[in-house]
């Protein structure tokens, strides 16, 4: 029987479950990836679980988000993470090495292996034919402890690429076209599997752009074949021995199919403030411009910077525009220097920043309030740039460079010059000198965690009650992101590891009084109601943990984004959806929700009978029996401890 590549990868790692879309499956994870802001919580979770050595190989901790050091908080966190890596057997990539996703692809990516990371853009490694999945940190901690990764079996969407990219059109325009067609939830619980003759137009880092931003469509993963393009990528990094060919079988059938004729595409741009508000650049040409930002995991390849250098070479950026260059990795920065591109950028008036996530997550380079910022980043949710009243557009490096020169949003085809053709150098050396390898186990046992006031132990969570009677404390609309729940940026992000301090900022953009109302309720609890695609975006599990700390017991929404839906029960929060979506309109803040016999109803089936101010309300859950057990225990850590206590011979850690 012919198989898709996605089904082959899943079958090779399947530990339990049926490969039927929607049913829960358990997958063996070969590798894990941590970034710093959520990696800190992962290390605290592993400590709470009593783990002394991780089971995945490699596990890698990257310092790429918390690079600003206006005080000691971020620097202290780096030392804490380094000590945790030494103690637990984790590779450490320090500040300055670059963004986790391209660095991991360069140094550790292996076709055919599985990877889970505490960053939603972990999916980028699918560019190397890996089964790469983003998840909440608590689930990554479980994988590091030797547990399987559980998730609903995805549908597989075959995306056939045909034709060649026209001049001035690049990989970012391809993924923006998919977002234009299908929106930010169009691939929820799906894998995007790319195939077809048009793949020849995309090098490995172009594929990274598409695999990275599949997350913006809600995709569980994105998968590319391992072909000669993959082989050349690994060869240029001295790792050809890790290559092996992988592809779908001829004639395989996809659950859904999509076709893109690359030759018909034009430069596209996503308007503020959602990745799916996509229009042709020509439609907004002439709009004023304050900033053009090049970098992030959304466009991390050497070419993405070098093509900008070639476009602006010998010219000057418009005086009113800040052209910000954020190299993705130390390796890319070194290559840009060696090829003369960095000098061209600086001489054109660009501002240079250190390799890392930086402005993508609001850690520096925040734009002026209300001024247009063109960015090659993957997301433009409100306030994510670090400026509450921002106006961020998503576009290709070509569009950003052309606009920086013109001083207004510009279709790059109007520059009146050929689009530069750039290829990365034949040799892009990767050095282990940039990493600190795991300590031998006998030495690791003697390492103490360098904890600080900003890394307190995690709170103890109580089990799910038999009866829930709580007020609706907040009602939100559609597409609420985890940025809306737990803000990023230089002001809040450094204290994410301190759930008690970061709690003060929960929902601050949507409802500044939420925290005060939640604290007034205390342990009595409360509920939150959301619209469609509640919890989209970043995998940050503190968007579930911190509201739980403030007393959140139930989230009811029209639909819940996959990662957030998985994070909620991991911290003892019951995720429910409306049986009738129209019931969303019945609910107002302040009404009382009552669910009797909660545990019995969860065990009996998917339907949950509740009342809202005394009137019947039918709700639904999609939790597996395993998730119900986790929820009932009050979260994953309690559940694992109970398993260990009841079956001491079971090696769960």
116 and 40 in one domain?
yes
| pLDDT, position 438 | 96
Residue 532 maps to which CATH number?
Answer: 3.20.19.10
Q: What is the extent of the structural domain holding 224? A: 5-264
Domain count, the chain: 3
C-beta of residue 357 within 8 angstroms of C-beta of residue 296? yes
For 372, the enclosing helix (H) or strand (E) is: strand 372-375
What is the token pair recorded at 172? 């970012």
Residue 431 lies in a domain: no
| pLDDT, position 1 | 80
Residue 533 lies in a domain: yes
Q: Which of 242, 264, 286 is the last residue of a domain?
A: 264
For 632, the enclosing helix (H) or strand (E) is: helix 625-633
106 and 94 in one domain?
yes
Q: Which of 264, 298, 329 is the last residue of a domain?
A: 264
Predicted TM-score of the model (pTM) = 0.95
Q: Which of 380, 395, 415 is the last residue of a domain?
A: 415
How far apart CA 26 and CA 6 sit, in angstroms, is 15
117 and 25 in one domain?
yes
Smallest CA-to-CA distance from 538 within 489, 490, 578 is with 489
Residue 299 lies in a domain: yes
191 and 256 in one domain?
yes
Residue 455 lies in a domain: no
| pLDDT, position 646 | 78
Q: What is the mean pLDDT, run by run of 10 residues, along the chain of 653 residues?
A: 96 97 97 95 92 95 94 94 97 96 97 97 98 96 96 98 97 98 97 97 97 98 98 96 98 97 98 97 98 97 98 97 97 96 98 94 93 97 92 98 98 96 90 92 92 92 96 97 93 93 96 97 95 95 96 98 96 98 96 97 96 98 96 94 74 45
493 and 595 in one domain?
yes
315 and 257 in one domain?
no
SS3 letters for 87-116? Answer: HHCCEEECCCCECHHHHHHHHCCCCCCEEE
| pLDDT, position 400 | 98
508 and 362 in one domain?
no
| pLDDT, position 653 | 39
C-beta of residue 119 within 8 angstroms of C-beta of residue 134? yes
Q: Beta strand 149-152 with 155-162: parallel, antiparallel or unpaired?
A: unpaired
290 and 236 in one domain?
no
279 and 244 in one domain?
no
323 and 207 in one domain?
no
C-beta of residue 436 within 8 angstroms of C-beta of residue 91? yes
129 and 59 in one domain?
yes
| pLDDT, position 652 | 46
Strands (E), 262-321: 268-270, 278-280, 291-295
Residue 236 maps to which CATH number?
Answer: 3.30.499.10
How far apart CA 409 and CA 269 sit, in angstroms, is 10
Residue 447 lies in a domain: no
274 and 205 in one domain?
no
């Amino acid at each position: 029987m012919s198989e898709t590549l996605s089904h082959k990868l899943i079958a090779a790692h399947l530990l339990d479950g049926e490969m039927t879309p929607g049913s829960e499956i358990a997958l063996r994870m070969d590798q894990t990836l941590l970034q710093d802001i959520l990696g800190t919580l992962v290390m605290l979770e592993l400590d709470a679980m009593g783990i002394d050595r991780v089971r995945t190989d490699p596990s890698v901790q990257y310092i790429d988000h918390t690079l600003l050091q206006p005080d000691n908080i971020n620097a202290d966190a780096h030392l804490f993470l380094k000590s945790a890596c030494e103690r637990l057997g984790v590779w450490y990539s320090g500040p300055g090495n670059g963004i986790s996703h391209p660095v991991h692809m360069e140094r550790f990516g292996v076709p055919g292996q599985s990877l889970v990371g505490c960053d939603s853009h972990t999916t980028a490694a699918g560019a190397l034919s890996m089964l790469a999945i983003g998840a909440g940190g608590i689930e990554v901690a479980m994988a590091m402890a030797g547990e399987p990764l559980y998730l609903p079996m995805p549908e597989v969407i075959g995306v056939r690429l045909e034709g060649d990219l026209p001049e001035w059109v690049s990989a970012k325009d391809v993924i923006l076209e998919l977002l234009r067609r299908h929106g930010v939830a169009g691939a929820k619980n799906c894998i995007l599997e790319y195939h077809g003759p048009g793949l020849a137009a995309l090098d490995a880092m172009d594929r990274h752009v598409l695999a990275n931003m599949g997350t913006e469509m809600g995709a569980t993963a994105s998968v590319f074949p391992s072909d000669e393009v993959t082989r050349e990528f690994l060869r240029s990094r001295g790792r050809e021995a890790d290559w092996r060919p992988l592809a779908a079988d001829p004639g395989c059938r996809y659950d859904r199919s999509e076709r893109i004729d690359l030759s018909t595409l034009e430069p596209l741009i996503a308007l503020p403030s959602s990745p799916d508000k996509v229009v042709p650049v020509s439609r907004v040409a002439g709009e004023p411009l304050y900033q053009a930002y090049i970098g992030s995991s959304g466009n991390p390849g050497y070419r993405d910077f070098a093509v900008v250098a070639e476009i602006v070479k010998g010219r000057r950026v418009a005086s009113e525009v800040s052209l910000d260059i954020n190299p993705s990795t130390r390796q890319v920065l070194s290559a840009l220097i060696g090829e003369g591109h960095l000098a061209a950028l600086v001489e054109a008036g660009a501002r240079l920043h250190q390799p890392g996530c930086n402005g993508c997550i609001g850690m520096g380079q925040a734009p002026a309030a209300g001024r247009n910022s063109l960015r090659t980043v993957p997301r433009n949710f409100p306030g994510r740039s670090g400026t509450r009243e921002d106006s961020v557009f998503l576009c290709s490096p070509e569009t950003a460079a052309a606009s920086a020169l013109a001083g207004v949003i510009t279709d790059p085809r109007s520059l009146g010059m050929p689009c530069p053709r750039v290829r990365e150098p034949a040799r892009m050396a990767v050095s282990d000198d940039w990493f600190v390898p795991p300590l031998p186990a006998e030495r690791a046992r003697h390492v103490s965690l360098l904890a600080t006031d900003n890394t307190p132990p995690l709170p103890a969570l109580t089990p799910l009650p038999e009866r829930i009677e709580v007020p609706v404390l907040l009602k939100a609309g559609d597409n609420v992101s985890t940025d809306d729940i737990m803000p990023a940026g230089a002001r809040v992000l450094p204290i994410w590891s301190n759930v008690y301090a970061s709690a003060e900022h929960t929902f601050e953009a949507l409802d500044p009084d939420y925290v005060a109302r939640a604290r007034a309720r205390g342990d009595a609890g409360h509920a939150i109601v959301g619209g469609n695609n509640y919890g989209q975006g970043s995998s940050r599990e503190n968007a579930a943990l911190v509201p739980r700390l403030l007393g959140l017991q139930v989230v009811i929404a029209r639909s819940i984004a996959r990662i957030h839906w998985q994070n909620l029960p991991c911290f003892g929060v019951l995720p429910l959806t409306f049986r009738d979506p129209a019931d969303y309109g019945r609910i107002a803040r302040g009404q009382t929700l009552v669910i009797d016999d909660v545990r019995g109803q969860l065990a009996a089936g998917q339907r949950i009978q509740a009342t809202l101010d005394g009137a019947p309300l039918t709700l639904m859950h999609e939790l597996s029996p395993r998730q119900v057990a986790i929820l009932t225990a009050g979260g994953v850590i309690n559940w694992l401890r109970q398993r260990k206590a009841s079956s001491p011979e079971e090696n769960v850690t």
